[in-house]
């Protein structure tokens, strides 16, 4: 018996979805949105971070919102964490009216004074 989930199993009537699915694990992150909302998937060139979904939402006033949903596994490798920081740098450079990131970054021991964790430095100057 296969444990792989097919796309149709994730669909919800009346909602569109944008999702990532890593090929080796078929895990990922889904953003659901009501179908009447103008949403398009947003792709970051050369992003190697494992699990994140991104979309650009057109708001009623012709403004735009870049929305990201991110999951960083607590078992994430140092390389994948660096890829996440690179992705967040790219996110900070996108021109739009509003930006929002939701998710679980799994950094339970952040030292907010010096922006470090037992896994290394998480601060990126360009994010602020």
Instruction: Answer yes or no: are the C-beta atoms of 55 and 39 closer than 8 Å.
Output: yes
Q: Tell me the pTM.
A: 0.80
| 70-122 residue pLDDT tens | 999 888 888 988 899 899 999 999 999 999 999 998 877 777 787 777 766 55
Cα(26)–Cα(49) distance, rounded to whole angstroms?
A: 14
Convert 78-93 to b/e letters by CB count within 10 Å (16 or more is b).
eeebebbbbbbebbee
Instruction: Answer yes or no: are the C-beta atoms of 17 and 33 closer than 8 Å.
Output: yes
Token code pair at residue 120: 């290394």
Look at residues 102, 12, 104, 94 and name the one whose alpha carbon lies nearest to residue 56.
94
| 52-72 residue pLDDT tens | 999 999 999 999 999 999 999
More confident residue, 76 or 15: 15
Residue 24 has a pLDDT of 57
């Amino acid at each position: 018996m296969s444990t792989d989930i097919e796309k149709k199993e994730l669909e919800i009537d009346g909602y569109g979805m944008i999702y990532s699915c890593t090929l080796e694990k078929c895990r990922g992150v889904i953003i659901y949105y009501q179908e009447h909302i103008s949403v398009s998937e947003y792709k970051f060139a050369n992003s190697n971070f494992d699990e994140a979904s991104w979309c650009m939402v057109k708001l009623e006033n012709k403004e735009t919102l870049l929305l990201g949903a991110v999951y960083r596994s607590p078992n994430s490798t140092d390389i994948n964490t660096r890829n996440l920081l690179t992705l967040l740098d790219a996110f900070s450079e996108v021109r739009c009216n509003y930006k929002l990131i939701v998710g679980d970054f799994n950094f339970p021991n952040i030292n907010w004074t010096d922006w470090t964790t037992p896994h290394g430095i998480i601060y990126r100057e360009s994010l602020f």
